[in-house]
Structure 1
Amino acid sequence: MPDRAWVRLPSGRRLDLLSPTPFDWTDADLATGLARTFRWGGHSAWPEPLSVAQHSLTVLALRRSRTRHRLTPVQELRELLHDADEGLINFDCISPLKPFLGEAFADLQARLSAAIATRYRLPSWTAEEKRAHKVVDVAAAAAEAVHVVGWTATEVRETLGIKAEVIAKDPLAVRYGDPPWRPWAPDVAAARFLEELTILQARV
């Protein structure tokens, strides 16, 4: 049999991981994949692990709150989808492992990211936009490390090498009425991500 590099998604569609097209998944497939893909290797001080879907919404909320000028809908969509490739491959690699995966894995991620950018008509980051994104992405990581995984602020700085201040306020807690920083169940994360994705696409 020929090598199989495609996966069957919940919708029944087939996603060829080595040669993806923008039509290989539904929005619900993506939301489900991100809700079932876990950050921090799936480790958590809570009963549940933290999903990439919840992280993506956190990054979007932080970016909205820290910009002097209101983001455009397409900028917000790009923030929401910044880790979307991880939901299609169902893998969020922890940083220390990435150098060992090599160029082939990086190429696979690039192909998925290109298909996502085409599907959702995402423009390339400008240097300024990329810097602003990285600031909130790193801030979210620092907060997750402490409030979700259980690292201390000192360990975040000295062991993980993350220099961002550890924020105390969960930017999603008030909106959704959940305990601050508690990871959501996958079905809840998928529904909330899909709702935001649908709203933003309607505005673009």
Structure 2
Amino acid sequence: MGRDDHRNQPNRAWVRMPSERRLDLLDPTPFDWDDSDLALGLARTYRWGGHSAWPRPLSVAQHSLTVMHLRAAACKAVGVELAPLAALRELLHDAEEGLLGFDCVSPLKPFLGEGFRALTVRLENAVFLRYGLPHWTDKEHAAHKLADRQAAASEAVHVVGWSAGEVLHTLKITVPPLDDDPLHAVYGGTAWEPWAPPLAAERFLAELDRLKALSA
């Protein structure tokens, strides 16, 4: 069955983007959004179920920048630079959540079933194709997950309000939280404060444009 035939079937889930492009979440292609759509979607999609000890919740866009900077810092600590394409992959590691508009709390994902997992895999594949991202090696993915968990532990303490002990014993995140916000040195402002969606989108898009240019 071709793409057009599939889209004539009852099972479809259209999203109209601010750019006026249309994305069928059940049958995505790499051409169904532009970069500003993705940046805004990630800036308006919230982590931690939208809960926060601050006046606003933390966006996936801000989290994605944190993970990218943590990976870059980890590479620098051992005397190497994170390649632009690898940095772009870190920045886009949750990109499908911005297209879907939903960041599921991790322990709930198994309860959403195989259909949801397949949907997210299709969106991830479309993202990787659009931006020319290489698939993770086992070593690369392990390094990424370490940065992702370090970001999560730090967000849990500094953004949501869990204690370090609760992060370890209740949330079962074994990576210790950071004291210093890696984004503070780059952007200033108040450490660990969630950004407003327009600012998060602007900063995400600027980094996306920079890394795309370096990776070309």
Q: Report the TM-score when normalising by structure 1.
A: 0.98
Matches of 1:175 and 1:117 in 2, distance apart?
27
Matches within 5 A, 1:29-40: 29-40=37-48
1:178 CA drift (Å): 1.2
SS for the counterpart of 2:155 is helix
Other-structure match for 2:168: 157
Shift of 1:174: 1.8
Q: Are positions 1:21 and 2:21 aligned together? A: no
Which structure's CA Rg is the greater one?
A: 2
TM-score, with structure 2 as normaliser = 0.93
Q: Which residue of 1 aligns with 2:14?
A: 6
Amino acid at match of 1:142: A
Gaps (5+ residues) in structure 2?
1-8
Map 1:92-171 onto structure 2 (within 5 A): 92-171=103-182
Separation in 2, partners of 1:33, 1:86:
8
Count of equivalent residues: 204
Contact 2:12–2:25, Cα closer than 8 Å, also in 1: no
The 3-state SS of whatever aligns with 1:15 is strand
**Corresponding residue to 2:183 among 172, 176, 180:** 172
Where has structure 1 moved over 3 Å in runs of 4 or more? 1-4
CA offsets 1:70-113 (integer angstroms, 9 cap, x no match): 11111000000000000000000001211110000000000000
Q: CA RMSD in A?
A: 1.0
Tell me, yes or no, if the aligned pair for 2:12 and 2:26 is still in contact at 8 Å. no
CA distance in 2, matches of 1:197, 1:95: 25
Which digits, 9 at most, give the CA deviation of each residue in 1:43-62, with x for residues without a partner? 00000100000000000010
Aligned residue for 2:3? none
Gaps of 5+ in 1: none
% identity of equivalent residues: 63
Correspondence list, 1:69-84, <5 A: 69-84=80-95
Read off the aligned partner of 1:112 and give its amino acid letter: L
User: Which amino acid in 2 is paired with 1:26?
Assistant: D
